[in-house]
Chain A
């Protein structure tokens, strides 16, 4: 009896081992890149510029632009600024961001390109003479990138205009939901749902749009807002006299988007998808220092 049980257990273990080993890797297909706060990363290539620059010598500053977000980086410009021309002059201080293949965009992370796309932008520079008697000069500078980026928001919500119906066995309305981001520095971090029941039933959404990245949002445009593929009326809160579909961030770090949709009354609860498509101009800046030495 006992040996039989042992054999059964052993064969089960072996079977489990084979079953798990032969299983397909589902992670690559199930990874959702449109989450978190995906950023574009600006760095200088190691050795360009080198730690020490000698006076009266030419050198290069090579900037690596790495799109670690989930969307396409478009119409990018990169600038080097902050050098005192007396010490360092650049052959060009501004360049367009082009991919290694020569495209005017950089792809974001996706299932076909899980590492995102990066490129190198090269700036020629000339180090000049030090101040008489001086042994070194510390030159702080900034690498500044300006580009167009995007945020897509898609979330399943429950719509229930008949709030007092006890018998409704459909979905349940969640009044407040938080999000970690949509793979972009500008993220919808919170959504509130408010349903007005009755004959003229409607649903209101309050969506908090927040700059969760290290840079600055210049202007955000709401390109599309739908609920169950039906256009939804949305406005940026506290945006008087401005276009309803665009908003200047200025010194603010977040803004609330108010969306409203009229609903059919006396309908049983149902799930629907709210979708927002936002595009914006983003400015990213990295502070660096190079040292001129005798």
Chain B
């Protein structure tokens, strides 16, 4: 019993001593804390400095580390590629796109979705990725096409990844297949960067507005992907992300809702995408960056935001024409005159526009095409005077739906730097525009042409072969509808105008309609000419313009005529030759004023016997047009 008591007392003592020890420890700790606190209070400034240093160090380290981040690398490289392209170089777009596609798939998404990327590349680049679907006017079918286009590589990639994970026993088939979907992100960016939307506008005629086109074309898509996938975080990266979002937001401000026109459905191929991108980039007028205009107008004139943006855009386009195209110096009187002239032209252009006739599906088309636009050509010559290896054929393709008599003469030139060599075209009749190249009336014309350099010596390097086709006697027609209401009292007039406008001019047909030819004739009649309703007391003005809408150059207007029957003919209803070959007309959309005169209405239109009379008038333009095709050839001498 005692023993047990003793044992108990010993245990109690031990417990007590432990408690004392812990108390002591606590006291010591609290003393140390207090001491540390007082020390901290005393040494506060020094410590602040050291913590700042530590933060700066860690932030700097983050920035440095961020450079090793695949997202940042993509962002920077994407930005460089964007600037390179923005300066007008499209040649590397496809290669750069593919590099970025694989880079983002491997390094950013850690190989997830790699199967899709590979399958997509094999299908898209290897097999052309072209699927033709039936024509439809339903916008939903565009989504269907996209789903169908992506569907095949997607399915292959998902199955491959699922099987691989399942066999390796790292994940289930479903997990693997689902993870593969990540591969869609780089594919989507690949399409956006390469110009999917431009293709939709040129091939499918989606009437996308200029802001949307700019958003798609002039947005550094790979930079955005890189920025938003950077893992490290610091203020510079956050700032860049904010800038990226702000850029898109600024471009998006004021985008109106668009309606969808009829379009054909064909999945885009690489060459199509690149071409479409180049076409739309050329078509866009050289205006101030829309994001910048939007930003400036937010502060300058927020109450009239839209008109402010339009004005800035128009002013910058006019300034570009005078400064860059006409080579005038800002501040000079000639420059000011040019600005005035261009502004007048703009005003006139607004009043008498023309548009594509929706009922005419086949328009005149002229193309010079090589077999494969994406291939880089290489010529291995036996010696420097052997020019036979440089004979690369080109195809002249003309769609002539109205079976007009067309004559084509083709020339070629080979150049390297300042060295320019004249070429001879084969067949010879293609050069002179004779024989089978004269008065061609087929609806579809396809001709092979070869350029043979005339020079005796060639050196190694890259030569550019330029084919120039002069197409003579092209014809474009247009039509214009007007309603003649005679003399009515104000009440009758208001009601009648309302009725006529809603019945006959509800869509875009108050302006002249013509096929989507490279050059068209626009005309307008009325007071003002844009008004489709003509009253007996109106001073009726006729305005006629030619408008170039294609990529080539309008070299000459041979003749134009306007048929306003039963209005008595006037001198300005027809015109003769006007040569434009020396003028600079590099813009796709360019207007050439042709005539402007007042007309006398005959009684049957001045005082119609019926309540009103509907009349359609026509105009015809005969012109010469020039297109060029450049192809690069790398010459090596064996």
Q: Is B one of A's binding partners?
A: yes
List residues of A whose CB falls within 8 A of some B CB. Answer: 79, 81-84, 86-87, 93, 130-137, 140, 142, 144, 250-251, 287
- Alpha-carbon distance A106/B553, docked complex (angstroms): 67
A133 touching B402 by the CB < 8 A rule?
Answer: yes
B362 touching A84 by the CB < 8 A rule?
Answer: no
Say yes or no for B522: interface residue by CB 8 A criterion. Answer: no
B616 touching A84 by the CB < 8 A rule?
Answer: yes
- Alpha-carbon distance A132/B360, docked complex (angstroms): 9
- Alpha-carbon distance A144/B610, docked complex (angstroms): 12
Across the A-B interface, the 3 shortest Cβ-Cβ residue pairs? A251-B491, A134-B359, A133-B360
- With both chains docked as a complex, state the minimum distance between the C-beta of A5 and any C-beta of chain B, in angstroms: 71
Q: A82-B614, A86-B615, A135-B360 are in contact. Are A140 and B479 (CB under 8 A)?
A: no
Q: A133-B515, A135-B361 are in contact. Are A84 and B610 (CB under 8 A)?
A: no
- Give 26 pairs: A residue, B residue, CB < 8 Å, sorted on A: A79-B610, A81-B610, A81-B611, A82-B503, A82-B614, A83-B614, A84-B615, A86-B615, A86-B616, A131-B357, A131-B359, A131-B360, A131-B477, A131-B479, A131-B616, A132-B477, A133-B360, A133-B362, A134-B357, A134-B360, A135-B359, A135-B360, A140-B503, A144-B611, A251-B491, A251-B495
- Alpha-carbon distance A131/B359, docked complex (angstroms): 9
Which residue of chain A has the shortest Cβ distance to B506 in the bound complex? A140
- Alpha-carbon distance A134/B361, docked complex (angstroms): 7
Q: A133-B362, A137-B359, A140-B504 are in contact. Are A250 and B491 (CB under 8 A)?
A: yes
Say yes or no for B393: interface residue by CB 8 A criterion. Answer: no
A130 proximity list for chain B (CB < 8 A): 359
A132 touching B359 by the CB < 8 A rule?
Answer: no
- Alpha-carbon distance A137/B515, docked complex (angstroms): 14
- With both chains docked as a complex, state the minimum distance between the C-beta of A294 and any C-beta of chain B, in angstroms: 10
Which residue of chain A has the shortest Cβ distance to B483 in the bound complex? A82
Choose one: A84, A137, A287; the contact of B503 (CB below 8 Å).
Answer: A287
- Alpha-carbon distance A140/B618, docked complex (angstroms): 19
- With both chains docked as a complex, state the minimum distance between the C-beta of A93 and any C-beta of chain B, in angstroms: 8
Choose one: B359, B515, B615; the contact of A136 (CB below 8 Å).
Answer: B359
B614 proximity list for chain A (CB < 8 A): 82-84
Say yes or no for B401: interface residue by CB 8 A criterion. Answer: yes
B611 proximity list for chain A (CB < 8 A): 81, 144
Say yes or no for B270: interface residue by CB 8 A criterion. Answer: no
Interface of chain A: mostly helix, strand, loop or mixed: loop
What class of interface size applies to chain B in its complex with A?
20 to 34
Say yes or no for B321: interface residue by CB 8 A criterion. Answer: no
A133 proximity list for chain B (CB < 8 A): 357, 360, 362-363, 401-402, 477, 515
Known: A131-B479, A133-B362; 7 extra A-B contacts, CB below 8 A, are A81-B612, A84-B481, A84-B615, A132-B477, A133-B357, A133-B515, A140-B503
- With both chains docked as a complex, state the minimum distance between the C-beta of B479 and any C-beta of chain A, in angstroms: 6
Which residue of chain A has the shortest Cβ distance to B479 in the bound complex? A131
Which residue of chain B has the shortest Cβ distance to A288 in the bound complex? B503
B477 proximity list for chain A (CB < 8 A): 131-133
- With both chains docked as a complex, state the minimum distance between the C-beta of A130 and any C-beta of chain B, in angstroms: 8
- Alpha-carbon distance A132/B503, docked complex (angstroms): 23
Which residue of chain A has the shortest Cβ distance to B475 in the bound complex? A132
A251 proximity list for chain B (CB < 8 A): 491, 495
- With both chains docked as a complex, state the minimum distance between the C-beta of A245 and any C-beta of chain B, in angstroms: 23
- Alpha-carbon distance A82/B612, docked complex (angstroms): 7
- With both chains docked as a complex, state the minimum distance between the C-beta of B510 and any C-beta of chain A, in angstroms: 14
Which residue of chain A has the shortest Cβ distance to B478 in the bound complex? A131
- With both chains docked as a complex, state the minimum distance between the C-beta of B514 and any C-beta of chain A, in angstroms: 9
- With both chains docked as a complex, state the minimum distance between the C-beta of B337 and any C-beta of chain A, in angstroms: 41
- With both chains docked as a complex, state the minimum distance between the C-beta of B117 and any C-beta of chain A, in angstroms: 43
B361 proximity list for chain A (CB < 8 A): 135
B618 touching A131 by the CB < 8 A rule?
Answer: yes
Interface residues of B in 472-503 (CB under 8 A from A): 477, 479, 481, 491, 495, 503
Q: Mark B498-531, 1 if CB is under 8 A from A, else 0.
A: 0000011000000000010000000000000000
Q: Mark B610-624, 1 if CB is under 8 A from A, else 0.
A: 111011101000000
B503 proximity list for chain A (CB < 8 A): 82, 140, 142, 287
- With both chains docked as a complex, state the minimum distance between the C-beta of A118 and any C-beta of chain B, in angstroms: 26
B612 proximity list for chain A (CB < 8 A): 81-82
B357 proximity list for chain A (CB < 8 A): 131, 133-134
Which residue of chain A has the shortest Cβ distance to B503 in the bound complex? A140
- Alpha-carbon distance A201/B159, docked complex (angstroms): 100
A79 proximity list for chain B (CB < 8 A): 610
- Alpha-carbon distance A287/B362, docked complex (angstroms): 31
- With both chains docked as a complex, state the minimum distance between the C-beta of A65 and any C-beta of chain B, in angstroms: 19
- With both chains docked as a complex, state the minimum distance between the C-beta of B76 and any C-beta of chain A, in angstroms: 52
- Alpha-carbon distance A23/B479, docked complex (angstroms): 71
A135 proximity list for chain B (CB < 8 A): 359-361
Interface residues of B in 139-197 (CB under 8 A from A): none
- With both chains docked as a complex, state the minimum distance between the C-beta of B190 and any C-beta of chain A, in angstroms: 37
- Alpha-carbon distance A131/B620, docked complex (angstroms): 12
A83 proximity list for chain B (CB < 8 A): 614
- With both chains docked as a complex, state the minimum distance between the C-beta of B354 and any C-beta of chain A, in angstroms: 14
Which residue of chain B has the shortest Cβ distance to A251 in the bound complex? B491
- Alpha-carbon distance A268/B360, docked complex (angstroms): 81
> Which of A82, A137, A287 has the most chain B CB atoms closer than 10 A to its own CB?
A82
Which residue of chain B has the shortest Cβ distance to A82 in the bound complex? B614
Which residue of chain B has the shortest Cβ distance to A144 in the bound complex? B611
Which residue of chain B has the shortest Cβ distance to A294 in the bound complex? B359
- With both chains docked as a complex, state the minimum distance between the C-beta of B325 and any C-beta of chain A, in angstroms: 33
- Alpha-carbon distance A136/B361, docked complex (angstroms): 10
A132 touching B615 by the CB < 8 A rule?
Answer: no
- Alpha-carbon distance A84/B615, docked complex (angstroms): 6
- Alpha-carbon distance A285/B360, docked complex (angstroms): 32
Which residue of chain B has the shortest Cβ distance to A83 in the bound complex? B614
> Which of B359, B360, B515, B611 has the most chain A CB atoms closer than 10 A to its own CB?
B359
